[in-house]
């Protein structure tokens, strides 16, 4: 009897298994980048198309050494190889995770990829997005404080229209800073980070819990997460509102 025979039941029942990624390579026969997983001494392969349900990874090297969850798609007795899907496991796990998150459960999530506007995080193999705006109450970005493989306590903020999980930290990061509303004056140029881009303007965070509104710049593409030089043109002390314009993208 084949040593792989015992995995047929796991395949039929779509049981979720775990293994450590030992090799990342391009396979000429499969014409695909693959993850080679050690499944208790059995070679398990996950092709690029089966690696992730949401994130289009440019490189799979970051998976090296990571424990991943997966289901079995097929078994090749001749080559003694199991073909697996991390993507399918994510889809199965996501239903359970969403239920627990919706009930208010807090999870310790791992940072798996850092972006300009935030980071992808992972909970038990399920990925979601943590934006800078939901990480800190000022212009501090996730990449300035955390690195890939670090962990952080999060809870569900919402499920987007395309079924993507959006998270927020249990306690927002607070950076020691001299910046507050009382020190802001007209014609000052201050550091800021783009929080949100709307059809009518751009919101730029220039101090903790303070987002200033400005027109969309006529030149240069802008996106959430960019750091900018921001010139203050109006300070309304009665309602603590600030307006200005973006001088330069940093």
CATH architecture of 106-169: Beta Barrel (2.40)
Report the half-sphere exposure of 211 (CA within 13 A, side-chain side): 14
Distances (CA, A) of 16 to 34, 127, 174: 19, 16, 39
Report the half-sphere exposure of 137 (CA within 13 A, side-chain side): 12
What is the per-residue pLDDT for 2? 57
What is the per-residue pLDDT for 95? 85
Q: State the Cα–Cα distance between residues 42 and 90, nearest whole angstrom.
A: 22
What are the extents of the domains in the chain?
5-89, 106-169, 181-249
Where does 181-249 sit in CATH, by number? Answer: 2.40.50.140
Q: Which CATH number fits the domain 5-89, given the four candidates 3.40.720.10, 2.40.50.140, 3.40.50.720, 2.40.160.20? A: 2.40.50.140
What is the per-residue pLDDT for 20? 93
Distances (CA, A) of 19 to 36, 38, 85, 109, 215: 10, 6, 12, 19, 51
Stretch (H or E) spanning 145 = helix 142-145
Torsions phi, psi of 109, nearest 5?
-100, 155
247, 232 contact by CB (below 8 A): no
Regions of the chain short of the pLDDT cut 50: 1
């Amino acid at each position: 009897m084949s040593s792989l025979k015992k995995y047929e039941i796991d395949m039929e029942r779509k049981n979720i298994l775990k293994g450590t990624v030992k090799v990342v390579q391009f396979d000429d026969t499969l014409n695909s980048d693959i993850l080679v997983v050690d499944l208790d001494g059995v070679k398990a392969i996950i092709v690029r198309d089966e690696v992730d349900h949401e994130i289009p990874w440019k490189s799979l090297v970051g998976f090296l050494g990571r424990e991943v969850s997966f289901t079995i798609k097929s078994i090749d007795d001749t080559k003694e190889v199991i073909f697996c899907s991390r993507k399918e496991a994510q889809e199965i796990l996501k239903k359970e995770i969403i239920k627990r998150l919706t009930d208010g459960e807090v999870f310790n999530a791992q940072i798996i990829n850092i972006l300009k506007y935030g980071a992808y995080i992972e909970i038990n193999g399920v990925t979601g997005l943590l934006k800078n705006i939901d990480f800190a109450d000022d212009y501090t970005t996730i990449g300035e404080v955390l690195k890939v493989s670090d962990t952080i306590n999060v809870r569900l903020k919402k499920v987007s229209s395309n079924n993507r999980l959006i998270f927020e930290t249990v306690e927002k990061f607070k950076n020691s800073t001299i910046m507050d509303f009382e020190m802001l004056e007209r014609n000052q140029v201050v550091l800021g980070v783009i929080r949100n881009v709307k059809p009518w303007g751009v919101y730029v965070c220039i101090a903790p819990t303070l987002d200033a509104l400005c027109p969309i710049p006529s030149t240069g593409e802008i996106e959430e997460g960019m750091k900018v030089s921001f010139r203050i043109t109006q300070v309304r002390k009665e309602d603590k509102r600030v307006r200005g314009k973006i001088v330069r993208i940093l």
